Chain A
Amino acid sequence: MENILSGWVGALVVIPLIKIAIIVVGITLIVLAMNWIERKAIAHMQIRLGPMRVGWHGLLQPVADAIKFLLKEDVIPERADRWVFILAPAVALIPAFIVYSVIPFGPGKTFIVTDINIGILFLIAVSSVGILGIVLGGWASNSKYPLLGALRSSAQMISYEVAMGFAIIPVLMAVQSLSLVRIVEAQKELGWWFVFLAPVGTLSFFLYFFCGVAETNRLPFDLPEAETELVAGFHTEYSGFRFSLWVLAEYANMITVSSLATLMFWGGWLRPFPNVSALSFLDVIPGLVWFLLKMSAFLFLYIWFRATFPRFRFDQLMRLGWKVFLPLGIVNTMAAGVILLYWPGK
């Protein structure tokens, strides 16, 4: 056993496989848990009870739903482009999973599958492939609502992708590396999480997170799935387990956005004020737990947004992306350039 784990195969195949298995199971569990929390939290925000029947306070409801999805008939519409229709949810789901190979969940080499030096570039590139899945799914359905949903979705996602790129660049300028591990370590050396570096870091964070919410098609930017006008958007024609693949991909992307916001702006696995020794008693909480706490806070913010904000109109959405976020991002990048060169005491 020791030989297997210490050799070349162990370091590059066996141990990563174990980590991958833990991540895939973990993501699925987080999605199930979030599904329950989302329904319960929104229900209580609206003075309802939410699911109550299956298990204690409906705790087993997501499990029941998953089984139900498996048992449901899988209808492929007659006019659909059959193969593309079948492939599309996989095209959306697979990139949503692969990006976790470069996300560090805690300090050291234990909590990351592989620390490649272009981590964040890889993450952005791969997660963009998910848009293709949505376009393919909407087009292959050969039905009007999915087509409109897919068009809206792709237009929205690519619009906010641009602003998101500009939100990330100041972080890279401060860190001088694309590795996500380095980004967190730089925050430790600095002693501050980047979000507290007002104005550039704070603005970058808000830009990034709102663009992230828009990219994952969540309220208040959930126009592709606006049920009052488009039924269910691009996945109207999907049923059974194939539909649950779409949901899984959407939630996995939400977890990615939350993780990235945590890593880039909220210190990843670092405790608050990582260099203040008076707070070192906080180190009893392991880095992984800090990371998961921060990530969960962002996931809850998603739910909170959903219960609070009304949906944008499509023209408002495009205006916000192109005429507010993009110029803000450009100005922010310029400001970062000037501040990093001429900040007093640097």
Chain B
Amino acid sequence: MPKEYIPILLFLLVAISVPVLGLLAGKVIRPGGFFFRASRNPAKLTPYECGVDTEGNARDRYGVRFYIISILFVVFDVETVFLFPWAIIYNKLALFGLIEMLIFLGFLIIGYIYVWQKGALEWV
């Protein structure tokens, strides 16, 4: 059975070679590569900030909402992953499967309503 995965491994190798070969080809012909010199200029190497001098550091604080969203994602995405095997044998489970799923989704919906009520889904 695992031998079906050998072509995927091959594809991985080919996919890795695409950026590697492209960047190598670029290095041959572009300035700053193997052969051609690039102009040196300290301003060129600063982070872009609309043309003015860079202020401060980008490693700064940002909204806690991004963390909340990522935690919610973990919860809900794991729930969907649980539903995948259930969906695959749905015909065998029949009514039992349907009731089990409704209970499972019921818990999910209770959690979802809680999250909504808590305002975790509000952005502003």
Binding site for B on A (CB under 8 A): 12-13, 16-17, 19-21, 24, 69-80, 89-90, 93-94, 97-98, 100-102, 113-116, 121-122, 141-148, 151, 154-155, 158-159, 161-162, 165-166, 169-170, 172-173, 176-178, 231, 236-237, 240-242, 244-245, 314-315, 318-319, 322-323, 326-327, 330, 333-334, 337-338, 340-341
| A77 and B47 contact, Cβ closer than 8 Å, known pairs A155-B70, A330-B108 | yes
Q: Are A73 and B66 in contact (CB under 8 A)?
A: no
* New A-B pairs, 19, CB < 8 Å, besides A70-B25, A90-B16: A12-B6, A16-B6, A16-B10, A16-B11, A20-B11, A79-B57, A90-B19, A93-B18, A97-B18, A114-B4, A122-B8, A141-B47, A147-B62, A166-B80, A176-B90, A237-B48, A241-B26, A318-B121, A330-B108
Asked if B117 lies at the interface with its beta carbon under 8 angstroms from chain A, I say: no
Q: Which residues of B contact A116 (CB under 8 A)?
A: 4-5, 8
> Number of contact residues on B: which range applies?
35 or more
List 22 contacting pairs A-B, 8 Å CB cutoff, sorted by A. Answer: A12-B3, A13-B10, A16-B10, A73-B30, A74-B32, A74-B33, A75-B32, A79-B46, A94-B12, A113-B8, A116-B8, A142-B47, A142-B58, A145-B49, A155-B70, A169-B80, A172-B84, A176-B91, A237-B47, A315-B124, A326-B76, A330-B112
Measured in the bound complex, the distance between the Cα atoms of B3 and A16 in whole Å is: 12
Query: A151 CB to closest chain B CB, in angstroms?
Result: 5
Query: A315 CB to closest chain B CB, in angstroms?
Result: 4
Q: 9 tightest CB-CB pairs across the interface, nearest first?
A: A143-B47, A165-B80, A315-B123, A16-B7, A97-B15, A78-B45, A158-B73, A172-B87, A114-B7
Measured in the bound complex, the distance between the Cα atoms of B77 and A93 in whole Å is: 23
Measured in the bound complex, the distance between the Cα atoms of B91 and A151 in whole Å is: 41
Q: Which residues of A contact B31 (CB under 8 A)?
A: 73
| A12 and B66 contact, Cβ closer than 8 Å, known pairs A70-B25, A70-B26, A98-B15 | no
Q: Are B3 and A327 in contact (CB under 8 A)?
A: no
Query: A36 CB to closest chain B CB, in angstroms?
Result: 20
Q: Which residues of B contact A90 (CB under 8 A)?
A: 16, 19-20
Which residue of A93, A323, A333 is within 8 Å of B121 (Cβ)? A323
Q: Are A98 and B12 in contact (CB under 8 A)?
A: yes
Q: Are A71 and B6 in contact (CB under 8 A)?
A: no
| A24 and B18 contact, Cβ closer than 8 Å, known pairs A142-B58, A151-B66 | yes
Q: Are A330 and B18 in contact (CB under 8 A)?
A: no
Q: Are A318 and B123 in contact (CB under 8 A)?
A: yes
Measured in the bound complex, the distance between the Cα atoms of B105 and A141 in whole Å is: 41
Q: Are B48 and A236 in contact (CB under 8 A)?
A: yes
Measured in the bound complex, the distance between the Cα atoms of B62 and A146 in whole Å is: 13
Q: Are B23 and A337 in contact (CB under 8 A)?
A: no
Which residue of A77, A93, A101 is within 8 Å of B11 (Cβ)? A101
Q: Are B30 and A323 in contact (CB under 8 A)?
A: no
Q: Which of B68-106 contact A (CB under 8 A)?
A: 69-70, 72-73, 76-77, 80-81, 83-84, 87-91, 94-95, 97-98, 101-102, 105
